[in-house]
Amino acid sequence: MLAIASLLMCGLFSEPASATACIAADAQDGSASKKERAGDAETADGAAIAPAAPAPIYIRAKKLYARPDRVLEGVGILIEGGRVAAIGAELSAPKDVRKLEADVVCAGFIDGWSSFALDPTSFSDERITPASSALDAVDPYVDARWEREIAGAGVTSYRLQPSVSTRVGGLAALLRVHPGRRASESVLLGDCSVGLSLTAGRGGDVFERAAQVERVGGAIAEGWSYLEEKNEYKHELAEWEKKIAEKHKELDEGFKKAKKDREKAQSEAKDKGGEFKEKEYKEDKKPKPPRYDEDKEVFARVANGELPLVVEAHSAVQIRALLAAAERFKRARIVLAGASEAAAFAEELAERRIAVLLAPTPLGYYRDSLRANADLSLASVLDEAGVEVLFGSGGMGGVASRDLPLLASLAVGHGLRPASALAALTTRPARVFDVAGRVGAVEIGRDADLVLFDGEPFAAATKVKYVLCGGDLVVGE
């Protein structure tokens, strides 16, 4: 009864404070649920037991959104070993395989901006650096029932950032929502992005906050310089190694002659009563590598386009300054988060292929004027201009991720095309955060993170029937 009461108290739209309170109030009652996890099983000597491989599952779908722009009618889907093994209209169910049916099937939703499993002490830790890892900030005691509630909304993975309310957010990780496994067993990618915020420390006026953008450009510039130093060192080291190899070859080839010349010189010195002196061999000095700096290592990857940089900025002044600061870094993959006043920059964002990560927020919902998108039509405006829009729950605590599909539905109600809303929760975040080879689409070889509905994903009356995470049936068991 306590667990049910706690869930009711949280309500449909849980504010971060209330959700945290719900979790705290339910801590004692949730202890059993934590121990029930299959991933937490241990042997008598304390060693962890590897989770069992998912059992095969056959799904019959009236409609399959393989991708938002690729719809298949009346198909079978075979799941084996946690992955999509086969898809086809003529595909029949093997013997002794569990069978599921659904009107609509699509890839599991990805929350691009979450703090669900974040250790409370890491939420606003000012000691976080760019190289701080989200995997070190995961709360190991997250209640499995909260994960089931998030999965029950169709959200199967989320991007977790070490600190969401400070200027530096550290290295984010993409984690799977799996009530039966530890976080360490649910990592899709341990370093999917690095985060910065232009809204943390809200003192001063908007122009003072805009000045923070200079630090963003400065960090990327330092990373680029560090990358150039590393590349120069590699070049110098290669040249040095080549010279040494040539010298060794020369010495080996002239060894016999050099030995005779040395013996002759020794004999002549002895005959003349002089002292024989060895010729000192001086090897070219080996080049020194640049001094290792883990934070510069991170921004070197950002400058080279290997790692997305998620920058939270809301005001037009900040966005304009950010676009100007990032202009000279052609390889950098900037993701603009929050972006409350981004409509005026839609064409430029589309032209420069800068993705925008939105946290759609309805009236009456928890809102900070700097962190929320007050205009629910913003996603539609940006999408129509060709901007790649992603959705996230806004880095709010508790189980806010469970509301993400509903918030996307509200954006659809304010003009966003359903196909774009589906892409904002599946293919786009998977591509932007470099996990498109595993999740975000229903294709052979991809991880079986799937949601099965009894209707269209964003229709008001539609309900989730089943959810698969990594091939395991976690909702609708």
Lowest mean pLDDT among 21-30, 243-252, 430-439, 449-458: 21-30
Ranges 25-29, 278-282, 375-379, most confident: 375-379
Comparing 196 with 85, which gets the higher pLDDT?
85
In this structure, is residue 236 part of a structural domain? no
Q: Which two tokens stand for residue 75?
A: 């198909």
Same structural domain for residues 351 and 471? no
309/364 same-domain check: yes
Highest mean pLDDT among 2-6, 20-24, 149-153, 244-248: 149-153
The pLDDT of residue 258 is: 61
6 band by pLDDT with thresholds 50, 70 and 90: very low
Residue 435 has pLDDT above 90, yes or no: yes
- Helical (H) or strand (E) element with 76: strand 70-80
**Same domain assignment for residues 354 and 301:** yes
Q: Is the domain of 410 the same as that of 460?
A: no
Task: Identify whether 23 is part of a domain.
Answer: no
- Whether residues 80 and 140 fall in one domain: no
Mean pLDDT of 131-136: 90
Highest mean pLDDT out of 237-246, 337-346, 423-432: 423-432
- Is the pLDDT reported for residue 45 higher than 70? no
Beta bridge partners of 106: 65, 451
Q: Which residues pair with 194 in a beta bridge?
A: 171, 309
| CATH code: domain of residue 71 | 2.30.40.10
For 33-37, 171-175, 420-424, which range has the lowest pLDDT when averaged over its residues? 33-37
Cα dihedral 140, 144, 146, 151 sign: positive
Predicted pLDDT at 197: 85
Whether residue 204 lies inside any domain: the answer is: yes
Residue 353 and residue 435 in one domain: yes
Q: Using CA of residue 438, residue 442, residue 448, residue 452, what is the dihedral sign?
A: positive
User: Residues 434, 349: one domain?
Assistant: yes
Report the CATH number that the domain containing residue 415 is assigned in CATH. 3.20.20.140
Query: In this predicted structure, which of 95-104, 196-205, 354-363, 446-455 has the lowest mean pLDDT?
Result: 196-205
Q: Is residue 413 part of a domain?
A: yes
With respect to residue 363, please indicate whether it lies within any of the assigned structural domains: yes
Is residue 146 included in any domain, yes or no? yes
Q: What is the mean pLDDT of residues 353-359?
A: 94
Question: pLDDT, tens digit, for every residue of 263-321?
Answer: 666 666 666 666 655 555 555 788 888 889 999 999 999 999 999 999 998 888 889 99
pLDDT at 43 over 50: no
Over residues 30-59, mean pLDDT: 57
139 within some domain? yes
Say if 252 falls within a structural domain.
no
**pTM of the shown model:** 0.81
User: Tokens 């129509």 correspond to what residue?
Assistant: 384
Q: Are 67 and 143 in the same domain?
A: no
Greater pLDDT, 199 or 186: 186
Measure the CA–CA gap between 138 and 115, rounded to whole angstroms.
9
> Please, are residues 143 and 94 in contact by the beta-carbon 8 Å criterion?
no
CB atoms near residue 103 (< 10 Å): 14
Q: Is the pLDDT of residue 361 over 50?
A: yes
* Inter-residue long-range contacts of 21-28, CB under 8 Å, 24+ positions, other chains counted: 22/398, 23/143, 23/146, 23/398, 26/2, 26/143, 27/143
Do 302 and 447 belong together in one domain?
A: no
What Å distances lie between residue 5 and 29, 90, 147, CA to CA?
A: 11, 47, 17
Q: 59-63, 130-134, 159-163, 260-264 — which is least confidently predicted?
A: 260-264
- Say whether both 416 and 351 belong to one domain: yes
Q: Does residue 10 have a pLDDT over 60?
A: no
pLDDT surpassing 60 at residue 188: yes
Q: Would you state the pLDDT for residue 51?
A: 65
Domain that holds residue 455: 53-107+440-477
* Predicted confidence band of residue 335 (pLDDT cuts 50, 70, 90): very high
Which residues sit opposite 171 in a β-bridge? 133, 194
- Residue 457 scores a pLDDT above 60: yes
Q: Are residues 220 and 306 in the same domain?
A: yes
Residues 6+ apart with CB under 8 A from 92: 76
Query: In this structure, are residues 359 and 371 in contact, taking their beta carbons and an 8 Å threshold?
Result: yes
pLDDT tens digit string along 219-254? 899 998 998 888 888 888 888 888 888 777 766 665
pLDDT over 50 (residue 469): yes
Statement to judge: residues 359 and 211 lie in one domain: yes
Domain count along the chain = 2
Give me the mean pLDDT over the 69-96 stretch: 95
Residue % of the chain over a pLDDT of 90: 48
